[in-house]
Amino acid sequence: MGVTQVIIGVPREICPGEQRVALVPANVTALLKKPGIEILIEREAGLPAGYTDADYEAAGATLTDRETVFGKAEILLQVQTPGSNQANGDQDLTALREGQIVIGMMDPLANPSFASTLAERKVTGLALELVPRITRAQAMDVLSSMGMLAGYKAVLMAANESNRMFPMNMTAAGTLNAARVFVMGAGVAGLQACATAKRLGAVVEAYDVRPAAREQILSVGAKPVELDLDTGAAEGSGGYAKAQGEDFLKRQRELMTEVVAQMDVVITTAAVPGAKSPILVTEDMVKAMKPGSVIIDLAAERGGNCDLTEMGKTVVKHDVIIVGPVNVPSTIAFHASQMFGKNLENLLGLLINKEGQLNLDFEDQIVQDTVVAHEGDVPQARLRELLGLPALVAAEPAEEASSEEEKK
């Protein structure tokens, strides 16, 4: 056997309701193909997602207790780090040690102080939410992976709550009209919601503030809803929707009321990273909807896209059922863990070279964007701005230094 160079640890998730696990056995098998890697898994870490200890052992992992995982791992992998786990993450925070690397969800734009906390402890942190939306990083993009699953599950939630079936049926007892489903926001979650509702037989329409979304909506079999609005500045960097001014949102809501009133199901997916979700469905719009209609608000964790959403609850307001789910991907934990684990496996493939040695290359955009704490500092430019820290000065080019030597 070769010498162990990198120890990777996966603890069981402790955030209430979190069923996912950071690596699945297939990821363990793939990672152990590189020399010098040891993988520690806390016993029963994968069980809530349907992965047994025997599966991990067969893949080559070492099963151990939580204390050993935190104590020995150089790279700690979590779905919810203490940055995103506001419920009981502090107990993990105290277990982190100087020089350790933590990779997982950190909610960095909404909770930038966590980066400072890691820096103070001299822990290196990589926030998966900050993986850049560039072609090379697509296979590491957990937001897209989890968004796809949330969009799928939202439609099933809607079908379960609705008093109508989705497909049209011609029966001896008469014709049953197809349900009308309206998806607001055509990002990864919204497009998957469109595709899933279409497969169930619904008549699907969708709206997104970004003009580029029209072709994407058509590509999944939905009809784009077009409003008379100036949307030229609606798309920010990285393909995310950009926060809009109140005048724009007010006009959008006025035009949208008429559309929403005709729908049986409305699924809202509009989120701005690190900011409160924009209100797309007002109380007046809910009042205009048919009795028994359903709203699934996938932005509930950020305040919701509907005025009347209550996070984590299903409520009935003005005879409309409004669902505000939290952590939807965790409800499909087997496949969510599979996708999350593959994203992490691909990221680790970038961070660990063929010889099994860890290498954080800050010349690489993926490393630049995702590393939120390193060697006692916060190197991530956007987080420095949010924390009120001065911008980092780029190092002097090597040629200039040598020319100074020549002058002496």
Q: Show the tokens assigned to 337.
A: 């863990």
**H or E element at residue 78:** strand 75-80
Angstrom distance (rounded) from CA 49 to CA 245: 41
Residue 107 bears catalytic tag: no
Q: Which of 4, 5, 192, 18 is nearest to 104 (CA)?
A: 18
Residue 152 bears catalytic tag: no
Angstrom distance (rounded) from CA 95 to CA 126: 17
Classify the phi-psi angles of 52: left when phi > 0, otherwise alpha if psi is within -120 to 50, otherwise beta: beta
Residue 240 bears catalytic tag: yes
Catalytic residue among 5, 86, 116, 138: 138
Catalytic residue among 86, 214, 240, 364: 240
Residues near 180 by beta carbon (within 8 Å), at least 6 away in sequence: 202, 203, 205, 262, 263, 264, 265
Q: In a 3-state reduction of DSSP, which class is residue 79?
A: strand
Residues near 118 by beta carbon (within 8 Å), at least 6 away in sequence: 96, 102, 124, 125, 372, 373
Residue 133 bears catalytic tag: yes
CB 105 within 8 A of CB 80: yes
- Using only C-alpha atoms, the chain has a radius of gyration, in whole angstroms, of 24
Tell me the CA distances in angstroms from 385 to 31, 248, 250, 270, 392, one per residue in order: 35, 27, 30, 24, 10
**H or E element at residue 261:** none
Q: Tokens 């040695």: give the residue.
A: 357
Q: Is 237 exposed, middle or buried (0-12, 13-18, 19+ CB in 10 A)?
A: exposed
Catalytic residue among 144, 145, 337, 338: 144
Q: Which of 328, 188, 198, 215 is nearest to 265 (CA)?
A: 198
Helix axes 142-161, 333-351, angle to 10 degrees: 170
Residue 144 bears catalytic tag: yes
Catalytic residue among 43, 66, 97, 133: 133
Beta-carbon count within 10 A of 266 CB: 28
Phi, psi of 140, rounded to the nearest 5 degrees:
-115, 5
Angle at 252 between CA 251 and CA 258, to 5 degrees: 105
Angstrom distance (rounded) from CA 85 to CA 18: 10
Catalytic residue among 141, 208, 264, 369: 141
Active site residues: 133, 138, 141, 144, 240
